[in-house]
Chains A and B, each alone.
Chain A
Amino acid sequence: MLVRTVLIGVLALSAANAQPPGPARGHGRFGGASGPILDGGARFLGAEPGRPGRVVRNAPYSGDVVTETTQLLADGNRIRQLSTVHVARDSEGRTRSEQTLRNLGGLAPNANLPQVVFINDPVAKVNYALNSTAHTAAKSAWNPSSPPARPTMRRPPSDAAPNNSAADLRQTPTANPNLKTESLGRQTIEGVAADGTRITQTIPAGEIGNEQPIQIVSETWYSPDLQTVLLAKRSDPRSGETTTRLTNVNRAEPAHALFEVPADYKVTETAGRFGRPPGQ
């Protein structure tokens, strides 16, 4: 009897462990080269659609989102980086963004990752992440919920984290007397009318050890017609300037094929965002 019981236990344990294992670490859905990661580089493991944003219908357009960052170093040197994302939206609210991951901000400035395309289709209620190099696509169901919890490393203490101007600007004017918001009126950018807003945050002298007050200025031009930002500038003397501009704006209906997965792509259906393909 004891033997039988133990056997049952072992079998049960085996059954519990017989579930498909989680995805292999180190090489994601799109695979990746092995070997060491070069300084400032990154190894691509996979891409997946995240949370779809607000669905905007009846305002189609296509264009290029060009972001330029300029950082002035203490020795007078400058670091200038440019990135371009091709974007499109059709009348039914489908969106497509196509970009080459040349850098991941300060995280991996020399990433040079593959080109990826993200498609959000609120009509079919699906999202895709396409790897243009491997001709593969990860498909997941439309789901605007939160990212899944993952076992992550403990966050560093807040006083160890770097200054983050964007985080500073999160505070509302009422919560922070050093925030000033002003309207810049309306102007036409790329043939589209846009309303401007400027937010100026002042870090008083001495607050972070600064001898003089520091001003962080964020300027945004938003198009009510396209319901998107046409131009955004941010200037922070601690980090430099960033300008994001929507250029080559074309308000014609984009080709429907842009929102479909090319026929020669291998589509892998994921169990959910950040999930793994069933059966793998």
Chain B
Amino acid sequence: MNCQEFWKTLPELAAKPDQLDHLRECAPCARHWGQQQALTTGLRTVAAESRHVEAPPRVEARLTAAFREHSGLRPIRPGTSRRPRNWQPVATWLAAAAAVVLVAVSLMSNHPLHPARRGFPAGAPLAVVADPGFAEDSYNSGDFIPLPNAERISPDEDVNVVRVEVQRSAMIALGYDVSADRASEPVEAEVVLGADGQARAVRFLDE
């Protein structure tokens, strides 16, 4: 599961096992997930603390009267007046829920766009020698597409990355379907260079 898939599931309330796996592997998502959880918890606490807080009855009565007058409704006669409904806890919950949803939407819309620019998981192992098997799954596959006729990236060679903008027409050679009217538009790409300096693979960023 990548960052985009993780945030697409909108796990604002509870994470599933595969989502937790992603959080263990991705420090940026884990950090924002933690912030989101802390915010949710805080709002719930505020809502719980405010549950029994009510406005003075006279304030609600005046507001209700003003509303009915403004709406052209008949005023409530004193004898038929019901006890003001305890609507504020509901409103509080609604407001808190709305805020949580807003924050979740905000996080969802922001972080999938830039999750990786924030670096690698802080707890990532600092092995001196690269794991060949790991390399197999990273630069040689996954999001990265080998460039035509490029050598395969060896697990023990240095690789570096340059970030460039190229024309979308460059994607055609890699099998992408690019419409003619967008062929000259720029698209951001990360290009993997092998130890010989040759471009080996590329991934196009969807931003």
Binding site for B on A (CB under 8 A): 1-2, 4-6, 8-10, 12-13, 15-17, 22-23, 25-26, 28, 32, 36-37, 39-55, 65, 67, 83-85, 87, 95, 97, 99, 101, 103-108, 111, 113, 116, 118, 120, 122, 125, 129, 141-153, 155-157, 160-167, 169-170, 232, 234, 236, 239-240, 242, 244, 270-276
A105 to B53, CA, bound (A): 67
Enumerate chain B interface residues (CB-CB to A < 8 A).
Answer: 2-4, 26, 28, 35-36, 39, 42-43, 46-47, 50, 53-55, 88, 91-92, 95-96, 98-100, 102-103, 106-107, 110, 112-121, 124-131, 134-135, 137-140, 143-152, 154-167, 169-171, 173-177, 184, 186, 188-193, 195-200, 202-207
Q: Once bound together, how far apart are the Cα atoms of A54 and B153, in whole Å?
A: 13
Chain A's closest residue to B201 (CB) is A105
Give bound CA distance, A48 to B173, whole Å.
25
Question: 16 more A-B contacts (CB under 8 A) besides A67-B198, A106-B148, A149-B115?
Answer: A5-B91, A9-B100, A13-B102, A13-B106, A16-B39, A41-B167, A43-B164, A53-B156, A53-B159, A54-B129, A106-B173, A108-B170, A144-B129, A152-B203, A166-B146, A275-B116
Decide if the interface of chain B is mainly helix, strand, loop or mixed.
mixed
Which 5 pairs across A and B sit closest by C-beta, in order of nearness? A272-B119, A9-B99, A22-B114, A148-B116, A156-B175
> Contact between B135 and A1 (Cβ–Cβ < 8 Å)?
no
How many Å lie between the Cα of A22 and that of B32 in the bound state? 13
Expressed in whole angstroms, the Cα–Cα distance for A53 and B163 within the complex equals 20
Tell me whether A151 and B166 are in contact in the complex, defined as CB-CB below 8 angstroms, given that A5-B50, A5-B96, A13-B99 are known contacts: no
Task: Please state if B107 and A1 are interface contacts (CB–CB under 8 Å).
Answer: no
B6 and chain A: residue at smallest CB distance: A149
CB distance from A55 to the nearest CB of B (A): 5
Question: Could you tell me the distance in whole angstroms from the C-beta of B104 to the nearest C-beta in chain A?
Answer: 10
Residues on A with beta carbons closer than 8 Å to the beta carbon of B131: 144
Q: Quick check: B162 and A274 within 8 Å, CB to CB?
A: no
Pick from A8, A236, A273: contact of B161, CB under 8 Å: A273
Q: Once the chains bind, are B119 and A65 in contact (CB under 8 Å)?
A: no
Q: How far is the CA of A104 from the CA of B196 in the complex (A)?
A: 12
Report 14 cross-chain contacts, Cβ distance below 8 Å, ordered by A residue: A12-B39, A13-B102, A16-B107, A46-B162, A97-B160, A118-B158, A148-B115, A149-B26, A150-B2, A153-B204, A156-B177, A239-B149, A273-B161, A275-B120
State in angstroms the CA–CA spacing of A47 and B169 once bound together: 23
